[in-house]
């Protein structure tokens, strides 16, 4: 794929703000006519720059009042163990994001549950069942100070 230009960056910014924009509205916002705008969006999708579209759901509105961040440390880091750990993490629906870390801990999990009791149950039945764990440290979030935001797409091309 060719490097992103200013119009591609504007398209990405607008779609991150509102993925439900009609092609006409998107074209108007980025200064293109509809056909070239649609071609660019399809090119960004095919190149894997745009990986999908989804609704952002208010977790409180659906009864998921608790956000926890669990930091996992493994006893062993062999390839088989890491593959099994990651497979187990992906199976837990309450884990909405998971990151492999550098540093003292190995994984950071963002978890959403209905209550502290729900988290305790998840800890007992799912998290502690993850193979080769040496520790789990949990921090609970009281609120969101910055919600999901558009990526700050750099003005200069970067390599992938």
Mean pLDDT of 59-73: 97
Mean pLDDT of 51-57: 95
> What span, in angstroms and rounded, lies between the C-alpha atoms of 139 and 111?
10
The number of domains in the chain is: 2
155 inside domain? no
Closest CA to 156 of 37, 4, 16, 17: 4
137 inside domain? yes
pTM: 0.88
> What span, in angstroms and rounded, lies between the C-alpha atoms of 104 and 97?
19
For residue 30, pLDDT beyond 60: yes
102 inside domain? yes
Closest CA to 104 of 126, 72, 79: 72
Are 84 and 131 in a shared domain? yes
Residues 6+ apart with CB under 8 A from 84: 131, 132
For residue 120, pLDDT beyond 70: yes
148 inside domain? no
Are 42 and 68 in a shared domain? no
pLDDT above 70 as % of the chain: 97
Task: Classify residue 5 as exposed, middle or buried by CB count within 10 Å of its CB (0-12, 13-18, 19+).
Answer: exposed
* 3-state DSSP assignment of residue 18: coil
What's the CATH code of the domain at 17? 1.10.10.10
- Half-sphere exposure (CA, 13 Å, Cβ side) for 100? 7
């Amino acid at each position: 794929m060719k490097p992103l230009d200013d119009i591609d960056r504007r398209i990405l910014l607008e779609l991150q703000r509102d993925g439900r924009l009609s092609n006409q509205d998107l074209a108007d916002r980025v200064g293109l006519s509809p056909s070239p705008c649609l071609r660019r969006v399809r090119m960004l999708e095919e190149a894997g720059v745009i990986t999908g579209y989804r609704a952002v759901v208010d977790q409180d509105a659906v009864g998921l009042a608790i956000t926890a961040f669990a930091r996992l440390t493994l006893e062993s880091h062999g390839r088989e163990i890491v593959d099994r750990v990651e497979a187990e993490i992906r199976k837990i629906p309450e884990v909405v994001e998971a990151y492999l870390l550098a540093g003292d801990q190995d994984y950071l999990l963002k978890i959403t549950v209905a209550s502290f009791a729900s988290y305790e149950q998840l800890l007992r039945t799912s998290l502690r069942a993850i193979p080769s764990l040496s520790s789990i440290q949990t921090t609970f979030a009281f609120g969101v100070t910055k919600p999901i935001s558009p990526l700050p797409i750099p003005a200069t091309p970067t390599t992938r």
